[in-house]
Structure 1
Amino acid sequence: MKTLVLKNVLPAAIVALAVSGAFATTSMQRAPEKSTVAFKWGYLPNANGTCSTTQVSCSDIQKDQLCRVGDTSGAIAYDRDSQNNCVQPLYRLINGQ
């Protein structure tokens, strides 16, 4: 009885395992790529060139529009260096990217 079960069930189990492995591999290949959003806090420059404590959500990925306080108008937000100087303008987050 045991040999009969092994002869009939084992090949079916192997085929089922192979088919499920093929589906898993295909679904992994079609998985959407993760967005490479580079969220970064932007800071507003003071009159002396240092950065203020006001934070604006920006991106450091280069785009057409700079990051500003009010979406398309207002002061430009900058990245700050280790000496708290506003040196590099940042870019606007568009649709969360």
Structure 2
Amino acid sequence: MKTLILKNVLPAAVVALAVSGAFATTSMQKAPEKNDVALKWGYFANPNGTCSPNRTQCSDIQKEELCRMGDTSGPIAYEKNAENNCVQPLYRVVNGQ
């Protein structure tokens, strides 16, 4: 009886394990990376709140450091809305992130 179960069930179990392993590796290859960068153009605010034409590459992913004209100093860069106003501060891009 035990031999009969091993001969019939074991191959089915091995096939099921192989198929589930194939699906697991395929889904791991398609997993999005956590370090994907959402690059945006950051504009600098004029005294009246509108955006200047000067811009720099920034990110909208929240980090500790804000995006600035210089790497760590200078005016803060903002996201420009449809009315050409600088309202949302953007974040610094560090090492492509």
| Greater percentage in strand | 1
Partner of 2:33: 34
CA-based RMSD of the aligned residues comes to: 2.3
Normalization by structure 1: what TM-score?
Answer: 0.68
Separation in 1 of the partners of 2:32 and 2:80?
30
Task: State the Cα distance separating 1:64 from its structure 2 match.
Answer: 0.3
Partner of 1:86: 86
1:74 partner amino acid: G
Structure 1 segments, 4+ long, off by >2 Å, are 21-36
Separation in 1 of the partners of 2:22 and 2:39?
32
Moved more, 59-68 or 33-42: 33-42
Separation in 2 of the partners of 1:93 and 1:42?
11
What count of residue pairs does the alignment treat as equivalent? Answer: 81
Partner of 1:95: 95
Deviation per residue, 1:32-57 (Å, 9 max, x gap): 74352111100001121100111110
Partner of 2:69: 69
Partner of 2:52: 52
Separation in 2 of the partners of 1:63 and 1:92?
7
State the percentage of identical aligned residues.
54
Moved more, 49-58 or 30-39: 30-39
Partner of 2:7: none
2:33 partner amino acid: K
Segments of structure 2 that go 5 or more residues without pairing to the other structure are: 1-17
Normalization by structure 2: what TM-score?
Answer: 0.68
Segments of structure 1 that go 5 or more residues without pairing to the other structure are: 1-18
